[in-house]
Amino acid sequence: MLKLNAGLSRKVGEPDYGSRGASVNLELEVESNLVNDSDGLMDRIRRLFTLARQAVDEELGRAGPSSAPRSGGNGNGQRPVTTSQLGAIRAIAERLGVDPERVTRDVVGTGLDALTLRQASQLIDELKRRAGEPAGRSNGDRR
């Protein structure tokens, strides 16, 4: 008998510089002849990690508002930043020569990992203002 052991840990940011984490370790006994079937073995390992990932996601999703999966949503009123907003924050921060994590904490009082959709909008406006670009609800205006 062959034993597979898959472990996964994840930490998410919380308001006021806090964080919360979850980890899971799964052990599974599989047929020993799988050692001769590398594709089959890899498939079982992938499945084990998928299960571990789902368990961690569920745990973090259940425990608090800031743990919703990015863009996935859990309907709890604290929608996380979209990946597009996050990319924009990083891009503008880079242009300004500032650390995105630090400027996020300075402006909205929380880390990038815990940003909500509204906070991200507010931060993007502020960063654009600092960059001397028009901010506000019309970020599509052509220049």
Instruction: Show the binding pattern over residues 17-56: x = contacts another protein (CB under 8 A), - = does not.
Output: -----------------------------xx--xx-xx--
Sign of CA dihedral 58, 59, 63, 65: negative
138 binds another protein (CB under 8 A): yes
17 vs 55 by CB, closer to another protein: 55
Q: In 3D, which of 96, 94, 90, 143 has the Cα closest to residue 120? A: 90
Judged by CB under 8 A, the residue of 2, 91, 99, 102 near another protein is 91
Q: Is 77 in the site for another protein (CB under 8 A)?
A: yes
Write the CB contacts of 43 (distance below 8 Å, at least 6 apart in sequence): none
**Minimum distance, C-beta of residue 66 to another protein, in the bound complex (Å):** 13
Distance CA 48, CA 134 (A): 48
